[in-house]
Structure 1
């Protein structure tokens, strides 16, 4: 994979306008709706697509029923193969979302296990309380009855995950996002990834980890990266509360992570409110500046580059606002997103021209509640950047080279 990675993170079911909780009246190759957007993604300046769930599932994609099959709401294997080939033509790699902590309650393997009973060969894949009042009760993930946890102490589960991973790596993907990886013993990932890397040594693996000892998780699991939720929280919170001390502290801790691995950084994803809704469209540019001038493997959540808004709510369907459909092609975008798009293009270009930024360390130069200036420097020494953030009166940002020349400024 490219030594300097960055992703356009897309939730395909939403992007392509597939029904989530309702029957699909007209299954069609919706995955092909991504094809007109690949030039847009390449022009944005990212190196690949990080795709949310694409496998057959009951509703939102994280309740899979067949991880060897493309979701009929999105199309077929042929549609997927064509997408991967088209990405390759644009110089884009593809990483898929692997939901290996749990499966959907309608998964055929679970149905078979419940039919076979406690001594059945499939039963060992799950943790089932056969004596529960009212009948057998599978263990579920974080209280979600539709998400049934796999038994990761069972070797057959490792066999299953390895087979899914290698199946799609053979079809041309470059790696995996491991959904809810924090809920699985790291030793399971160590075992699985060793087997997968035996055939695909260059595959890249990022684990979803919300909080905890990131470095320890990486060391024990052998994943390449974890989701840097600590930095995500500090970015938006420091802007909302006008407290750059929080961001400065988080960046110091972030630097310690970079001593052992490169975190996956973001200011938006499919599970959180849009950054433009949380901090406002102008301050969202400052969040982007932090994302793209600090160490990490950054991802841009589709629509954030257009200043999309949307608030996540804790209810059924509460994710819909942050997982919208996109137009048929870029010509359908509203003009008010052009300024944010240019900011992304300029800052991603700045980052790609300085590959050392992927492992850059930050040094505080000046700090108050409302003003923060830091230097971003190569871990090996040499050239660096100076970044100035200011929310004293209105959001303002300047990125300079070491000689003081302005490389990027907001507002213009």
Structure 2
């Protein structure tokens, strides 16, 4: 069951290796005294709280070979991000500001430098470590190593064997380790690639130790409710993310309305994790064909049911396109500047819009599990009401060149929006 505190959560998501400008490709020797992301992040927490966020979602902080998702030591802070003391200082700073902390758990796969994988290769098919993986000892790769089941065709990401009790114990130990150090929950990377019964066993054990932990599964499409029924508290709402930018670009609110019917059904059983940007997708400011409609995407994010998150830089209208190639994520995972004074002046209007809409959301926390009623639907005009008992909020979105007067009394200017309640 979702912890009560999640009802009020609004996350600021940060990819820390990119945030610090770290060498995610390990192209050179580490630079002594280089950027320490966790220390730098601590200096930006006031910026996040002024934005209105009360949670910090961090992509991987554990030691890895390159980009964070090829884990080498899940119990240790990556040296490119700082020290163990830097992590503890970040936790303390979050507590001082009332910020919850969500970590990114990579439990579907590990990197090829992961100790148990190296041990399996060294000690062979009858070793205890060999049972952690699905290894084909009869067929070898170019390096002469047994072929390993990997994650979606990436040989550097070795899939774990989730039927192994040792793997289950390992994942529980990692999760409890960081929860005991001050984390409030986990984003479970590639949760969709892991059997649901594994999550059922793991979540029961972790919640037994940390009942207030929030467990969020990354699920791109498919059986969203099934993962929640397996013991997770929520899943990522990629279906809604896609419908938001696609409907705005095509000026086709019928597409959005169809996705919102599904979203509203999900809200019956859980609060989906909502977003218009993250570390794996093209930034919303680059995705939209008309800059005037960025505000519409944000209005949707902060008035619809769910647990919303803002990806670092989106609040400043950062641009960046994800590409299908080596290094194709770099543009959407950039370094943040040293200070607020170094941010581009033109980004602050979007920051203030986020502040206004997050303020609206915080004044109406019941939106977390509110239900949607459509008041008017046309290609370029959409009006809806969010309801929870006697509480309600009217919203109008207008993508046309005409004024949109809604049945609930709102008037949205051309390419504008309006909210009342």
TM-score of the pair, normalised by structure 2: 0.93
Matches within 5 A, 1:225-244: 225-244=234-253
Aligned length: 405
Query: How far 1:399 moved relative to its partner?
Result: 11
1:142 equivalent to 2:152? Answer yes
Confirm or deny that 1:104 pairs with 2:111: yes
Q: Deviations over 1:44-69 (max 9, x none)?
A: 11111000011101111001100100
* SS of 1:316 mapped into structure 2: coil
For each residue in 1:93-123, what CA deviation from the matched residue of structure 2 results, as whole angstroms up to 9, or x when unmatched? Answer: 1000000000011212111110000011111
- Aligned partner of residue 3 in structure 1, secondary structure: helix
Q: Following TM superposition, by how much is the alpha carbon of 1:217 offset from its aligned partner in structure 2, in angstroms?
A: 2.1
Separation in structure 2 between the aligned mates of residue 277 and residue 135 of structure 1, nearest angstrom: 42
Residue 220 of structure 2 corresponds to residue 216 of structure 1? no
Structure 1, residues 330-363: CA drift from partner, whole Å, max 9, x if none? Answer: 2211110111001100000100111101111111
- Asked if residue 74 in structure 1 is aligned to residue 81 in structure 2, the reply is yes
Q: How far apart are the structure 1 equivalents of 2:246 and 2:37?
A: 37
Match of 1:156 in 2: 166
Question: Which of 233, 257, 260 matches 1:251?
Answer: 260
Query: What is the match of residue 378 of structure 2?
Result: 368
Query: How far is the alpha carbon of 1:383 from its aligned partner?
Result: 2.0
Structure 2 residue 302 is the aligned partner of structure 1 residue 298: no
Answering whether residue 344 of structure 2 is matched by residue 340 of structure 1, we say no
| Change in CA separation of 1:397 and 1:146 when aligned onto 2, cut-off 3 Å | farther
Contact kept? 2:381, 2:404, Cα under 8 Å: no
Give the TM-score normalised by structure 1: 0.95
Find the aligned partners of 2:269 and 2:40 in 1 and give their Cα distance.
Answer: 39
The aligned runs of 1:11-410 (5 Å cut-off) are 11-21=15-25, 22-23=27-28, 24-26=30-32, 28=34, 29-133=36-140, 134-219=144-229, 221-279=230-288, 280-378=290-388, 381-393=389-401, 410=416
> Do the aligned partners of residues 314 and 405 (structure 1) sit closer, same or farther apart at CA in structure 2, a change above 3 Å counting?
closer
Tell me, in whole angstroms, the C-alpha distance in 2 between the residues paired with 1:404 and 1:33.
Answer: 44
Deviations 1:155-214 (A, max 9, x none): 100000000000000001100000000000011011011111111001000000000021
Show the counterpart of 2:11.
Answer: 7
In 2, Cα distance between equivalents of 1:398 and 1:205: 42
Q: CA RMSD in A?
A: 2.0
Q: Give the superposition deviation at 1:3.
A: 3.0
Q: CA separation in 1, counterparts of 2:317 and 2:401?
A: 21
With over 3 angstroms needed to count, the CA separation of the structure-2 counterparts of 1:80 and 1:392, relative to structure 1, is same
Distance in 2 separating the partners of 1:181 and 1:91: 28
Shift of 1:216: 1.8
Residues 398, 260 of structure 1: alpha-carbon distance in 2 compared, 3 angstrom cutoff: farther
* 8 Å Cα contact 1:56/1:69 also seen in 2: yes
State the shift of 1:372 in Å: 0.6
Structure 2 residues without counterparts, runs of 5 or longer: none
Tell me the distance in 1 between the aligned counterparts of 2:183 and 2:145. Answer: 41
Separation in structure 2 between the aligned mates of residue 398 and residue 212 of structure 1, nearest angstrom: 37
CA contact (8 A) 2:135 2:147 kept: yes
Q: In the superposition, relative to structure 1, how do residues 138 and 232 fare at CA in structure 2: closer, same or farther (>3 Å)?
A: same
Question: What is the SS of the residue equivalent to 2:44?
Answer: helix
Deviation (angstroms), 1:398: 10
